[in-house]
Chains A and B, each alone.
Chain A
Amino acid sequence: MLESAELYFNVDHGYLEGLVRGCKASLLTQQDYVNLVQCETLEDLKIHLQTTDYGNFLANETNPLTVSKIDTEMRKKLCREFEYFRNHSLDPLSTFFTYMTCSYMIDNVILLMNGALQKKSVKEILVKCHPLGRFTEMEAVNIAETPSDLFSAVLVETPLAPFFQDCMSENTLDELNIEILRNKLYKSYLEAFYKFCKNHGDVTAEIMCPILEFEADRRAFTITLNSFGTELSKGDRETLYPTCGKLYPEGLRLLAQAEDFEQMKMVADHYGVYKPLFEAVGDGSGGKSLEDVFYEHEVKMNVLAFSRQFHYGVFYAYTKLKEQEMRNIVWIAECISQRHRTKINSYIPIL
């Protein structure tokens, strides 16, 4: 990339950037959330959503309305937008889009393999798969018995293939191995995505790298947290950490030794970015969970991405913000449908 990419960015990607900024403006506002929270039934929720940019996306749903229907329709809408972006994109950007879909593809593959393990039918699980990560060969994953089988038979032609280099093994795919596979895939995916953005340079790198660094570190924290009390050894744990974050290398080594939440927090205390996050976590009852705190931080970074121009980060940020918005709506809808209104306000506000 040349230094002055700004000069001709708009030639190739100007239309899409304009479009995505327009889409971003249609995210629900604080006022919308205030109104949504007041809804008594899902029908009310639907009426209110009709006044926003969602329009009558639920118009063709048959009654009764359920949360999962809302969720599916919202996902479909996001997917339509994303496909539109993707179909109109030119090369570096289209690769960027492919990288974006990879994470959903990984999730889908793992979901399907888990399903196969529990002897569920493929159709049942297919509806749960994220539409952004859909690909033709996806349904065939259950014919594979080992990771290398999976790679050579099913995934060799998909964009996921390069991420497999670390996880070729002949282990049978039981639940733990699938989880390890997911994390290894994710690790190499994040590292590859990070490298792509870094090599691309310019504003894209300036925006995307911090976001991906945070993503990597979040994964490291989550892996650590989830591995407490499992049979995963500390050495294995360390191999799962993505190495493109701010924690790399010292933080990850410390994290690998951590044995409970307190020790994890001590590791985070060494980092200016994560210290306040861990301090914001409430204890047990009330307060926010670590997940929510991370989401909030992510939202903040994604919103900030829109303050710069001429970069691809806006597409990533938009998709993530939209996903967060969907999570919020689903949360509110769940609270409404289960009549559990006390926690309805703990959605993640999008600034």
Chain B
Amino acid sequence: MGSMFRSEEVALVQLFLPTAAAYPCVSQLGELGLVEFRDLNASVSAFQRRFVLDVRRCEELEKTFTFLQEEVRRAGLALPPPEGVLPAPPPRNLLRIQEETDRLAQELRDVRGNQQALRAQLHELQLHAAVLGQGHGPPVAATYTDGPSETSPLLQSLGDPHQDLRVNFVAGAVEPHKAAALERLLWRACRGFLIASFREAERPLEDPVTGEPATWMTFLISYWGEQIGQKIRKITDCFHCHVFPFPEQDDARRGVLQQLQQQSLELQEVLGETERFLSQVLGRVQRLLPPWQVQIRKMKAVYLALNQCSVSATHKCLIAEAWCATRDLPTLQQALQESSSEAGVSAVVHRIPCRDMPPTLIRTTRFTASFQGIVDAYGVGRYQEVNPAPYTIITFPFLFAVMFGDVGHGLLMFLFALAMVLAEDRPGVKMAQNEIWRTFFGGRYLLLLMGLFSIYTGFIYNECFSRATVIFPSGWSVAAMANQSGWSDTFLAEHPLLALDPNVTGVFLGPYPFGIDPVWSLAVNHLSFLNSFKMKMSVILGVTHMAFGVVLGVFNHVHFGQRHRLLLETLPELVFLLGLFGYLVFLVVYKWLRVSVAGAASAPSILIHFINMFLFSRSPTNRLLFPGQEVVQATLVVLALATVPVLLLGTPLFLRWQHRRRRRRHAGPQPDEDKTGLLDSPDAPAPGWGSDEEKAGCSGDQGEAKFVLSEVFMHQAIHTIEFCLGCISNTASYLRLWALSLAHAQLSEVLWAMVMRVGLRLGREMGAVAVVLVPVFAAFAVLTVAILLVMEGLSAFLHALRLHWVEFQNKFYSGTGYKLTPFTFTVEDE
């Protein structure tokens, strides 16, 4: 947890990898996942890098793998996930894998080609059989059965000389969707010099390529004349028809048919044999492919990482630059030594100074991950900046619960989260692909805490599914009130509403031990009582939360060595915030403690006091809370206003003064300027990423000359305005705590009154409570989960998120960093 306070120290290291050992070293680093490589060849395009040939080889292999995988998938088989630890193979193994893969692919291609050819042949035979077996009738007769109106004039027009002309036939099969077009085209192109009959084949045939069954259309065209025949052949070619010889005699046809059936039987046998062989090859692929895929992917990743290294002048070693957490440096050193020991020359690591902002590394556990996720979703923290996540662990569920306070709803949420937490190690739960489920599952610990805190605030609000519970005896006594004021029966009958007066002795016995007194749930002024309470609570929580944010800024300033900002920024900010809104909180608490029931009639109004504070005026009717209040108020306002110019001008003027002093110092020993610049840099702790303001004004030592006062001023002015106005609007923004908790309470109240209460009353009237209650409770349960838990829960979550991102984090968190993304194989394994 300590490491969560700020991101870990990350160092830029230079790795000298001997050429012979570079590959195993990087592969080992990939297994460990410690370092993030920096691209040293950013200016070199992808295909001009050193290891591009190896990468290309890996890609070639992957292409073959895709082919094999596709074949396996087409055969309806699945690849088993690879087992065991599979390190990146040594480069020399690549050739072996490549050879074996190629052989396997070639074999598969051959077998597949054979199978394809056989299938096509079979298909052809079956089509032929279908055409012949179709029995398009005695072909000559067909010419007459087509109807006399078309055929008779045709025959006559041909005239006697053509009587002896033979009628020829073209028979074949065509795909069903083309049949109509073919028929039309034939008719148009040949002007009725033919008679075509189309028929559906008796049974669907499997397509040799796709394997889908299709019912082909068989056709028989009878025509006269050779020219027409040529035309017909051209047309059938263009439609990719299968055309078969068509013996005219029935007997011949039958003979051919039998022959065809014989052939197709033989062919089927051969095909079966081929398929058996194919499944053997596929089995081999299934066994070999998954480990290879992982290995080659790792290999490619290693080469891509190596491509980012630069080559030393002597070509003896590769130089890589990488970010690595300081804590991991020994591990890194050891790993490199181990993997380079074979080569004889050992790889060397050494830290190098760096001006760039290092990446942010915050190690999380399964518990803290979701909270860190909330923070990172806003922006990854600057390097070594105070990380809001550890505080978010408590404040986020708490603020959520303030809006979601209900024991029953909280309990349901808690149990749901608990179930997920208990089942988190089960593979089925972990592997679930559903995106919505994964979102919930990822935030299970967050939900757990949210549920717990909701139960807590639910007890404070004394609400369980909007019903109050009586755990302790109520602090109010109706009996005492009735006895003391002597309410008569007629008085009671006339007045439906009766007031309990706490000033009467015995009526108010003392505050309820924990939370809201259940008696309030019966009162008509329940809402106005709660509103006043929740509103004040929101302001108190808000001001505390924001003040905490400002205080966290202190750690940033101290860590980045900008102590001037403590005095010039944090202090004025605290004075401004606490002087105005802290005082308001003080007034609220003071009034709670000091103004009792007895003085209720003349109790001072905080609102009027607060308004008067800014107007420097007083209203005679409003009693003072404490003596000397006006002096205190005037002082606070003046103090707060006085901090504004400090905030606005302080930092820029200080920076200018600092800059001038530094320049004067530099101006003295002119020739040593370069040296001092170099010597200075380690002294000033990381000026490059110290702060945005300075970065805007002067970045590093070269920036000193470029110190632009106006920019610094502009930046500070924006910051000041944002803070001062933000104090007011952010405080108001925290009132959403009140608004949402009110909304939640009212919604659950309405649900109870409209569903359960009606159900209970109905049940009593009809005398069958249980029967009516079943559907009523079902409706109540569904609505509770859908509206109160899911919908309200999401909206409360959203508002809690906003309060953290905007109101809390803008006090100290810049979130302009980037994450350390180490070079690792683990992601690629998934």
Interface residues, chain A, CB within 8 Å of chain B?
35, 38-40, 43-44, 47-48, 51, 59-60, 122, 136-140, 142-143, 152-154, 156-157
Contacts and interface: CB of A to CB of B under 8 A. Distances in A.
Interface string B156-186: 0000000000000000000000100100110
B681 to A, nearest CB: 35
B692 interface: no
A140 B63 contact: no
Interface string B223-255: 000000001001101110000000000000000
Contacts of B816: none
Nearest to B188: A153
A153 B45 contact: no
A143 B231 contact: yes
21 contacts: A39-B47, A47-B46, A47-B52, A47-B56, A48-B45, A136-B181, A137-B238, A139-B237, A139-B239, A140-B185, A140-B189, A140-B234, A140-B235, A140-B238, A142-B234, A143-B189, A143-B231, A152-B188, A154-B189, A156-B188, A157-B184
Contact of B46 (A48, A59, A139, A142): A48
B185 A154 contact: yes
Given A44-B47, A48-B47, A154-B189, 9 more contacts: A38-B45, A39-B47, A60-B63, A122-B237, A137-B181, A140-B189, A143-B235, A153-B185, A153-B188
B63 A122 contact: no
Contacts of A139: 237-239
Nearest to A39: B47
Contact of A136 (B47, B67, B239): B239
A47 B58 CA distance: 13
Nearest to B190: A153
B190 to A, nearest CB: 9
B66 interface: yes
Contacts of B188: 152-153, 156
A60 B238 CA distance: 29
A139 B241 CA distance: 13
Given A59-B63, A60-B63, A157 B56 contact: no
Nearest to B46: A47
Interface in B692-719: none
Given A47-B46, A47-B47, A47-B56, A153 B189 contact: yes
A38 B48 CA distance: 10
Contact of B178 (A35, A39, A136, A138): A136
Contacts of B52: 47
Interface string B573-612: 0000000000000000000000000000000000000000
- Ordered nearest first, which 8 A-B pairs have the shortest CB separation? A139-B238, A44-B47, A140-B238, A153-B189, A153-B188, A47-B47, A143-B234, A143-B231
Contacts of A143: 189, 231, 234-235
Q: Is the interface of A mostly helix, strand, loop or mixed?
A: helix
Interface residues of B, number: 20
B77 to A, nearest CB: 21
Contacts of B46: 47-48, 51
Contacts of B231: 143
B182 to A, nearest CB: 9
- Max chain A CB contacts within 10 Å: which of B45, B47, B66? B47
A59 B61 CA distance: 11
B181 A157 contact: yes
Given A43-B56, A59-B66, A143-B234, A137 B185 contact: yes
Nearest to B70: A60
Nearest to A44: B47
A163 to B, nearest CB: 18
Contacts of B181: 136-137, 157
Contacts of A43: 47, 56
A91 to B, nearest CB: 23
A272 B754 CA distance: 76
Interface string B31-72: 000000000000001110000100010000001001100000
A157 B180 CA distance: 12
A44 B53 CA distance: 11
Nearest to A153: B189
A156 B189 CA distance: 11
B742 to A, nearest CB: 39
A51 B66 CA distance: 19
- Max chain A CB contacts within 10 Å: which of B184, B231, B238? B238
A157 B184 CA distance: 10
A135 B721 CA distance: 69
Nearest to A40: B47
A156 B231 CA distance: 18
A70 B238 CA distance: 27
A153 B238 CA distance: 14
A85 to B, nearest CB: 22
Contacts of B45: 35, 38, 48
B36 to A, nearest CB: 21
Contacts of B184: 157
Nearest to B63: A59
Contacts of A137: 181, 185, 238
A152 B190 CA distance: 11
Contact of B238 (A40, A122, A156): A122
Nearest to B184: A157
A62 to B, nearest CB: 10
Contacts of A35: 45
A47 B48 CA distance: 11
Nearest to A152: B188
B44 to A, nearest CB: 11
Contacts of B178: 136
Nearest to A138: B238
A35 B43 CA distance: 12
B51 to A, nearest CB: 13
Contacts of A153: 185, 188-189
A139 B185 CA distance: 12
A143 B188 CA distance: 12
Contacts of B66: 59-60
Contacts of B47: 39-40, 43-44, 47-48
B176 to A, nearest CB: 13
A139 B178 CA distance: 13
A296 B235 CA distance: 42
Contacts of A38: 45
Contacts of A154: 185, 189
Contacts of A140: 185, 189, 234-235, 238-239
A118 to B, nearest CB: 17
A153 B234 CA distance: 13
- Max chain A CB contacts within 10 Å: which of B52, B184, B185, B239? B185
Contacts of A47: 46-47, 52, 56
Interface string B418-438: 000000000000000000000
A201 B289 CA distance: 59
A37 B189 CA distance: 51
Contacts of B63: 59-60
Contacts of B67: 60
Contacts of A138: 238
A133 to B, nearest CB: 16
